[in-house]
Structure 1
């Protein structure tokens, strides 16, 4: 073989009498028993020219364990690629695995029911202080304006609460959650305004009509921290504790004042805590509903993928059988004579195509080598000695490209009479499959997988190339 060297010679006899599997070592350019020139970088040994290949030469014996198993050819990198629990290489993801991740990603889009519910809850909670503050709190503030000590503090507290409501509306009305910094600053402003308004109360006015800020501030906190339940509980506790402390420090309360304070504290705090609990419950139920919907979507995707895989499989079988049925019909009606070499070659090619089609649907770490091996099996059953050399790490090759890469191999092996050598080279930039066989054939290629072939003196050299996109 001229040029870059020849396919690694059949270096020893494996346990299967018909295939001689060899080890390709592109860096050295030599194989035990055949001295060759160093192969060029990225070249498959033995794929340049069919001029001087001697397929009739008997294989020489190699030492030790250099002969690979006929079912598992030795590769340049002996370490097998890591696989998952299902036997699939990590770089080769099944369509279902990709498709089934989509519902999880879709659960955070604005159209998700849970997201829409959370946005609606925020709008309702913001509407409560927006209505209560001017509707129920403004009148007591104006009515007791002269009693506050000083009145400006109460007015400033009212203005701060109004500003916080307007600030929250900027995000809430656009159906967006409040940023953490906005929620924190708003909470601090509300608590400070509440303490300031309470400190400005006249004597004997705690938890009564002049104390308009106590119940209102709780609604502001709900609007600010509805998405953060732990922070909401802490803020409500701080607000209540500050109000009670200011009430007790303002003087010795009478029994009537204590009773009024207890009623207001219980009614306002329990009601607002109940609202917080209801929000939490709705949020949990919405999450469960979203998870159930995602589960149903995953099941629907699985069913659709299974149906699509079934249709693709049936279409592939129908296409292959469409080429095989005329041969079977010819054998049945006698127009195809199985004693002729042409008919036997057609039968060998059809058998190899069907075997490759069956192997195409297997879930294995290295689909390309698995399908090439399936092509070799049929040739071995015809008594053809086949040597297989594999070099490089596993490359994810689409099914269509694998079909076009192995198609010329089928044609060359179907025409082989006694011996053939197959080499597979995988790099991140190029995948090459080459065959040298002692039989004349004309493999066809495509735009995605160009095929180069030469035939001389009854020997065929063929090479198919595919470049990852």
Structure 2
């Protein structure tokens, strides 16, 4: 899993700092101690070879670190093994009285190389530090005279040098973990804010749609209440049926279903069947995404036809990759209300004897 953006940037910056610290310590301190050790008891070639190997590790690591990337495991793990071998080899040339002094340059330097290679792999890093301390301590015990004072000084030196380096690595990992947690919290907060904004927008849309539906329904209710509209008249009953169908469609728009268009048409068919209209519904083609405003424009002719239908109605839905066509054929008791033309949706109607066909068409690619 990719690291979050902020922790990734922080770790990349820390790796670059570690690269600089390791390079400065190797060239400045370790290099000076190495050349001062040329007159030691053993030949200098092994020391110099170990120094060169560690320098190659720094240069090789820079190829990834300077690009903001961790050293890959295929390079980091073998590189850590090479670093430990180089440190052990360099220690074999150090006289016992120089152990843990500046002439013992590899012991304190190698920990920075291990951090550079294994900063992103905490378990290998701990294992490498433990192995480094074990090998270094064993080499000291085998070469140096054993006395209580000398052992105490050695233990303090080893724990202080390696403990500081290991503490740096653990602190970096802790900071990175905390940054990931903070990033996750911020991302969750942003998602929650987005969900709240979407919910608020949805609620506003619902109120606007409900107000629109009530705007057409209130005059009808007022007419029925004050007696200006006769509920026994066919056209008034058709208006009531159309208003009920629109409300039912509005409720159906809120349902979470895989095929909203079919669901909304089915809701209108159910109301027509309750009025005693014999209805059939045929669907062809796979479901395609249809925006809510387009679905309203497509279903409006069907709602108007079903509201005016007397005994029978046949609804057909044809869907292709290019267009969606919704048609209704019904026998009307009264002339149905013809919906206004909607942008993107074409509505046509034609009569065949005592039946009228209405069709709404939407071009998917438009």
Q: Scaled by the length of structure 1, what TM-score is found?
A: 0.67
Aligned twin of 2:61: 168
Asked if the contact 1:198–1:246 (Cα under 8 Å) also holds between the matched residues in 2, the reply is yes
1:23-422 matches, cutoff 5 A = 108=3, 110=5, 112=6, 114-147=7-40, 149-249=42-142, 251=143, 253-255=145-147, 257-328=150-221, 340-390=233-283, 395-422=288-315
Distance in 2 between residues matched to 1:181 and 1:453, nearest whole Å: 72
Question: Equivalent residue of 1:407, what SS?
Answer: helix
Deviation at 1:365, TM superposition (A): 4.0
Deviation at 1:260, TM superposition (A): 3.9
Q: Gaps spanning 5+ residues in structure 1: where? A: 1-104
Asked if the contact 1:445–1:464 (Cα under 8 Å) also holds between the matched residues in 2, the reply is no
* Higher strand residue share: 2
Deviation at 1:451, TM superposition (A): 4.1
Asked if the contact 2:12–2:68 (Cα under 8 Å) also holds between the matched residues in 1, the reply is yes
Aligned twin of 2:353: 457
Distance 1:468 1:189, change over 3 A: farther
Distance in 2 between residues matched to 1:467 and 1:148, nearest whole Å: 90
Q: Deviations over 1:22-74 (max 9, x none)?
A: xxxxxxxxxxxxxxxxxxxxxxxxxxxxxxxxxxxxxxxxxxxxxxxxxxxxx
Distance in 2 between residues matched to 1:166 and 1:315, nearest whole Å: 65
Asked if the contact 1:408–1:445 (Cα under 8 Å) also holds between the matched residues in 2, the reply is no
Higher relative contact order (CA 8 A, sep 6+): 1
Question: Equivalent residue of 2:180, what SS?
Answer: helix
Deviation at 1:153, TM superposition (A): 2.5
Asked if the contact 1:433–1:464 (Cα under 8 Å) also holds between the matched residues in 2, the reply is yes
* Higher helix residue share: 2
Distance in 2 between residues matched to 1:328 and 1:296, nearest whole Å: 46
Question: Equivalent residue of 2:358, what SS?
Answer: strand
Asked if the contact 1:408–1:444 (Cα under 8 Å) also holds between the matched residues in 2, the reply is no
Deviation at 1:129, TM superposition (A): 1.9
Q: Deviations over 1:350-406 (max 9, x none)?
A: 322222112111223442232112212333344323233445665554323322331
Distance in 1 between residues matched to 2:137 and 2:178, nearest whole Å: 35
Deviation larger for 259-268 or 220-229: 259-268
Distance in 2 between residues matched to 1:252 and 1:201, nearest whole Å: 11
Q: Deviations over 1:335-363 (max 9, x none)?
A: 66655544443333232222211211122
Distance 1:429 1:248, change over 3 A: farther
Deviation at 1:436, TM superposition (A): 1.5
Aligned twin of 1:28: none
Deviation larger for 266-275 or 326-335: 326-335
Please, what is the CA RMSD of the aligned residues? 3.1
Q: Gaps spanning 5+ residues in structure 2: where? A: none
Distance 1:150 1:450, change over 3 A: farther
Distance in 2 between residues matched to 1:358 and 1:457, nearest whole Å: 35
Q: Deviations over 1:295-350 (max 9, x none)?
A: 22222122112111111112222333344445456556776665554444333323
Question: Equivalent residue of 2:314, what SS?
Answer: strand
Distance in 2 between residues matched to 1:449 and 1:149, nearest whole Å: 93
